[in-house]
Structure 1
Amino acid sequence: MWFKNLQIYRLPKNWAVDAAPLEEQLARLTLQGCGATDPRSIGWLPPRPGGSLIHAINQQWLLALGIEEKLLPASIVKRFASDKAKEIEEAQGRRIGRKEMREIQAEMTLELLPRAFIRSRSTFAWIDRDNGWLIVDSASPAKAEEFLEHLHKSVEAVPAKVVKVTQSPSAAMTGWVAAGEAPVGFTLDQDLELRSAEKATVRYVKHSLEGEEIGQHIAAGKVVTRLAMTWNDRISFVLDDNLQIKRLAFLDILKEQADGQAENDDERFAGDFTLMTGEVAQLLDDLLAALGGEPATARSGSDG
């Protein structure tokens, strides 16, 4: 279980909830699957097939939200509705109005839904009780919010908040690139995006960050909005200006360490999760420190 993206939320470190009562609340809204005329279904799944709704190792919890969606393109509905409307017009010798056409489209939707293909996806999240993190593995903020919305429906009083930092990620990244020096424990890699106030954007992929060209962009007023970095030669990632971490990659030394300790799939899953959570918690601590830490008001709010 290796996350690829991190949408980061803060939980109070003294959040008074245990895994057992939390799982009982999740069990009220599990994934039931799409019925014949349901366009969509959403609910909790065991992160490990056959397991419980919370995969818990010490104070590290893994959750999974399942989503099923019927694939029924509007163009298909429109075509069937148009054919139905023509049949009515020819049989009754009259034209179909807009209101009736909308009703026909609704009828066609209900008729076609049972035959539509179902697309399934899952969104995973990790709750770190010790360090006060809720991390959603998604590159999309909308899917992270979808996860949080369903969590709020399922569980009473989940005090998750978007993480705030003292220095904006964009200002910090611009300073690191301009100085050619990463914060302690990090190195700057070769993917970069800069943007001007007018939204003009320059991207570099696998490109050296040294030289005058990038410095000239910064001198002209562009700021860094995406930057590839590596933490302690163990995890590489891309940080953006919204404090979202994407393209998270655990380097070979970590995965070899995990593989060497597992004798079967269950042990490998547990070992991967334990190693990932320990490493990412340290990465987040170092990254927030490099961004000036959390404001005092944010810290006090997360503890209340």
Structure 2
Amino acid sequence: MFFKNLQIYRLPANWPMSASELNSMLERQAFTPATSAELQRQGWAAPRGAGAPLVHAVGGQFLLQLKTEKKLLPSTVVNQVAAARALEMEEAQGFAPGKKAMKELKERVTDELLPRAFAILSTTAVWVDPVNGWLVVDAASPAKADEVVKLLLKSVDKLPLESLRVMRSPVGAMTEWLKVDESPAGFTVDQDAIMRATGESKAQVAYKRHTLEADDIRRHIAAGKQCTLLAMTWSDKISFVLDESLAIKSVKPLEIIKESATRNDDERFDSDFALMTGELAKMLADLVEALGGEAEEDARPPGPAVDAAPAKGHEPVREQRVMLKLNGQAPGTVPPGDGSATDPMYDQAVELVRSRQRASISLVQRYLGIGYNRAGNLLEAMEALGVVSGMASNGNRTVLAAPGAAA
């Protein structure tokens, strides 16, 4: 098994909830079949079938399952039957029924047809990681994830659940990765993307299994488009699509982590679940790091911050550009490389870009063995201190001459 879509929420790390405690709470909202008078019924069902616990635990990781039963009763059928009944009433009483009478007639028809309606059963898987504080719903839409969260909040007393908030907007981060033609640490960019205009036109360009040429992408960015969807691969193990709402879709495990043969179905299921949760926990941590880390609930980060437009069903994400201290002096007045920046690796980074005469995030990241965001912050500090130029339209920076250097 492997989740196909990830709607991501946050729990406190090392959340003190055992499988048995959670199971007893979910039992209060366990699934029971809908009655003949109900259009829909939802509840918790055992992931491993009848008779098994509602919480399937493997290695400290929990798997839940929301079960939904919906009655299929098309409105066209109700309207047709109601229209036939209305015609009979008109012939009997000599005049057509009014709006109120038609409304009551449709309600009666619905009640009559409901016991004969087809029932459709569906399930939604939920992964709870109490150790690292993840709660992930395998749902393609925020609306389906909201159904899960709503029932969870009703089932678990004082559930400390929050939306995942990151410091950088996914749209801003994805656009920058494509603009500078550099992927964040541990990730590679694949061949699917959507570039959308921010103006009223909402014009967009979609790439499908097509090489993302840096020059083409930069032309779209210069024309006012931003990346709202991007296909990526993490650590050569998992491919996925990241969208503007911070949802992860089309998740696929690559050959390197596909399941191995085991003796029976139960062992294979547990092995696959343990493998999936272990790899996804690492991937989510790396993705959050690539997006600037998590944003605190009550603290807006220092420096200019931009609120991204909130997607339906999601809390807004915040983007931060970290401003390094310049000891109270204006940018450019502090000699570059004198250790005035707050990052202890600043001088090493300056020496590196000067010796290589190239200023790129990937260069600093690779040679200093640091994360993508830290390398980006170092380059921003160099720009503020006059070591490198600002980013040109082609995404490149120029290494500037040191003060007092020969022309």
By the TM > 0.5 criterion, same fold? Answer: yes
CA distance in 2, matches of 1:76, 1:298: 51
CA distance in 2, matches of 1:273, 1:22: 19
Confirm whether residue 56 of structure 1 aligns to residue 57 of structure 2: yes
| Counterpart residue number, 2:228 | 225
Q: Which letter maps to 2:226?
A: V
CA, structure 1 residues 125+298, in 2 after alignment: closer, same or farther (shift >3 Å)? farther
Instruction: Give the drift of 1:92.
Output: 2.3
CA contact (8 A) 1:164 1:298 kept: no
| Counterpart residue number, 1:132 | 133
Confirm whether residue 200 of structure 1 aligns to residue 224 of structure 2: no
Q: Deviations over 1:103-141 (max 9, x none)?
A: 000000000001111111111110001100000001110
SS at match of 1:259: coil
Percent of aligned pairs sharing the same letter = 49
SS at match of 2:278: helix
List alignment gaps of at least 5 residues for structure 2: 300-407
| Counterpart residue number, 1:40 | 40
CA contact (8 A) 2:59 2:274 kept: no
Matches within 5 A, 1:90-105: 90-105=91-106
SS at match of 1:121: strand
| Counterpart residue number, 1:252 | 255
| Counterpart residue number, 1:291 | 291
Instruction: Give the drift of 1:248.
Output: 0.2
CA distance in 1, matches of 2:210, 2:147: 36
TM-score normalized with structure 1 length: 0.95
Aligned length in residues: 296
Q: Deviations over 1:146-193 (max 9, x none)?
A: 000011111111111111111111111111111111011111000000
Instruction: Give the drift of 1:28.
Output: 1.3
Confirm whether residue 209 of structure 1 aligns to residue 209 of structure 2: no
Instruction: Give the drift of 1:297.
Output: 4.3
214-223 or 242-251, which deviates more? 214-223
Instruction: Give the drift of 1:65.
Output: 0.3
Q: Which letter maps to 1:197?
A: T
CA contact (8 A) 2:5 2:251 kept: yes
CA contact (8 A) 1:165 1:288 kept: yes
What CA RMSD, in Å, does the superposition of the two structures yield over aligned residues?
1.3
CA distance in 2, matches of 1:212, 1:253: 33
Instruction: Give the drift of 1:94.
Output: 2.6
155-164 or 97-106, which deviates more? 155-164
CA, structure 1 residues 246+206, in 2 after alignment: closer, same or farther (shift >3 Å)? same
CA distance in 2, matches of 1:297, 1:85: 57
CA contact (8 A) 2:15 2:131 kept: no
More helix by share: 1
Q: Which letter maps to 1:74?
A: S
CA distance in 1, matches of 2:153, 2:162: 12
Instruction: Give the drift of 1:211.
Output: 4.4
CA distance in 1, matches of 2:169, 2:59: 33
Larger Rg: 2
Q: Which letter maps to 1:241?
A: E
CA contact (8 A) 2:132 2:281 kept: yes
More strand by share: 1
SS at match of 2:62: strand
Q: Which letter maps to 1:103?
A: E
Q: Which letter maps to 2:292?
A: G
| Counterpart residue number, 1:281 | 281
| Counterpart residue number, 2:72 | 71
Instruction: Give the drift of 1:49.
Output: 1.1
SS at match of 2:69: strand
Higher relative contact order (CA 8 A, sep 6+): 1
CA distance in 1, matches of 2:260, 2:36: 43
CA distance in 1, matches of 2:296, 2:42: 37
Q: Which letter maps to 1:30?
A: A
